[in-house]
A and B are shown apart, each in its own frame.
Chain A
Amino acid sequence: MTIGLVTEFAKLVHSTMVRVTTILVVLGISLICAAMLFAVHTDDPQLAAKLGPLIDPGGWAGYITVAIQVTGAAGFVGYGVVLSWLFSREFADGTITGLFAIPVSRPAIATAKLVVYLAWGLVTAAALLLALIVLGFISGLGGVPADVVPSMARQFGLSVFTIVLATPAAWAATLGRSVLAGIGTTIGILVLSQVSVIAGSGGWFPFAAPAVWAIHTDIAVTPVQLALVIPVVVLAVALTLHAWHRLQLDR
């Protein structure tokens, strides 16, 4: 397992694709939110009217609310893309043959990929929150009010939920042996989540429940509903490891 972790870490830290996605997740999301702050305070009344409701009630609270909404969608896609790439690149680059007939088992390699992904995701989530705070200060929002701190915690919490909920992408990328299979699955889950929220059943859809919990403080999401995330992630991880255990190079 240690060998798998060392090798997967080396691949991740040197990857241009991971670096670009990290920048997109951290700076992309935080700049979108900061840009909305600037845009709503322009002299253009039409733009202010369009964007105003999105950052209601304004200030830090509105800014973080926007950040939570963007994290729920863009963050999920970003994490899904990296996870899909981590698993599918072995097939695309042909390096999968080198992962057979070695002393390290393939489930150990897949586990190492998931652990390294989780560590990268947590670092990225922390960097995103930090970037949001710095850009909030730069945007002239002033000191962080105490009542906004729980919202910030929800934003970070949603990032963590998003990181683990992207795990079906690893399974899909393995079965499909393609990054598109993983990304397609990620987008499909995102669409289903939106539909479940619109239908009013988002709390009971594990992929949507954390976003509903983080965004809509007026809608009660129960601990049981949030806990449904656990079996979903456990199942996705188990299916991924099983797929790597049973893997054959027959196509």
Chain B
Amino acid sequence: MAEHAVDARGLVRTFDDGTGIRGVDIWVAPGEIHALVGLNGAGKSTLMRLLLGMLTPADGTVTIAGQALKHVDWAAVGHLVDYPLAYRELTCRQNLALGARLHGVSPAKIPGMVAAAIAELQLTQYADRRAAKLSLGNKQRLGLASALQHDPRFIVLDEPTNSLDPSGVILLREALLRRSDEGAAVLVSSHHLDEVARIAGRISVLNAGRVIGSLDPHGVDIERAFFDLVHSDDVAA
């Protein structure tokens, strides 16, 4: 178990509207980029929330670096789920400093870390602009910088390419590949099959709250393979 950065077994959490997660097993090894793909409502965000302690599972277990969620060293985790951690009244620099503080970074290290994050996500010209004045794409870059700046060992990103322009997508790709090369485990969800195929070592397909199969990132027609899987599952159900 401990060889996985994250290891979830038999996760169940459903909602009144019928959506949710129904018996999902998932794990990510150090140095691996594992992508989750699925249609809207398939359960990707719910699964990520369960892994990060934002939701309590009705059944199943989650461990991060071999530890139950109560005992996890959260300083080693970085995430962006739903909305970026960007307070509208603070500048990019102030938001990143706040994010670093919340991740337990010592005050002496924060200025250098923030400067590096601003450079990595190419936010230099917006560094002293308030988040309220940023475009959606730059706000997303800010959120990604906040999630990645402390070099976490386990990274969870829910549809991180949302609102990003093509250069932002490339910056994110490079940032994730760099961190996985350094041993970080990355779990990323996306609707963009081509993009996840470029970075992921493993692609799991979620449908109706279950993992129904996987896709070959090097496959010829990944989109067709995805829809074949989903359609077969829907017909079987």
Contacts and interface: CB of A to CB of B under 8 A. Distances in A.
Contacts of B85: 95, 97-98
Nearest to B15: A250
A101 interface: yes
B55 interface: yes
B87 A103 contact: no
Given A10-B94, A100-B52, A248-B56, A93 B77 contact: no
A95 B54 contact: no
Contact of A97 (B82, B87, B104): B82
B89 interface: yes
Contacts of A15: 89
Contact of B98 (A7, A93, A101, A250): A7
B154 to A, nearest CB: 9
A95 B83 contact: yes
Contacts of A97: 54, 79, 81-83, 85
Interface in B178-237: none
A238 interface: no
Interface centre among A14, A97, A248, A249 (most CB of B within 10 A): A97
Contacts of A101: 52-54, 74, 77, 79, 156
A104 interface: yes
A249 B15 CA distance: 12
Contacts of A16: 89
Contacts, number: 76
A41 interface: no
A102 interface: yes
A94 B83 contact: yes
Interface residues of A, number: 22
A248 B53 CA distance: 8
Nearest to A250: B55
Contacts of A3: 101-102, 104
Interface string B68-108: 00000111010101111111111000100011011110000
A94 B82 contact: yes
Interface string B145-166: 0100000000010000000000
Contacts of A100: 52-54
Contact of A98 (B56, B75, B99): B99
Contacts of B83: 93-95, 97-98
Given A3-B104, A6-B101, A97-B54, A102 B87 contact: no
Given A7-B98, A248-B54, A248-B56, A102 B90 contact: no
A100 B94 CA distance: 19
B49 A249 contact: yes
A11 B88 CA distance: 9
Nearest to A98: B85
Contacts of A99: 102
A248 B82 CA distance: 14
B74 A102 contact: yes
A99 B53 CA distance: 11
A95 B90 CA distance: 13
A104 B102 contact: yes
15 contacts: A3-B101, A7-B102, A14-B87, A16-B89, A95-B85, A95-B87, A97-B82, A101-B53, A101-B156, A102-B74, A102-B75, A103-B74, A103-B104, A248-B54, A248-B55
Q: Which 3 A-B pairs have the closest CB atoms?
A: A94-B83, A98-B85, A101-B52
Given A98-B146, A100-B54, A101-B74, 15 more contacts: A3-B102, A6-B101, A7-B101, A14-B87, A14-B90, A16-B89, A94-B84, A95-B86, A97-B79, A97-B83, A97-B85, A98-B79, A98-B83, A100-B52, A101-B53
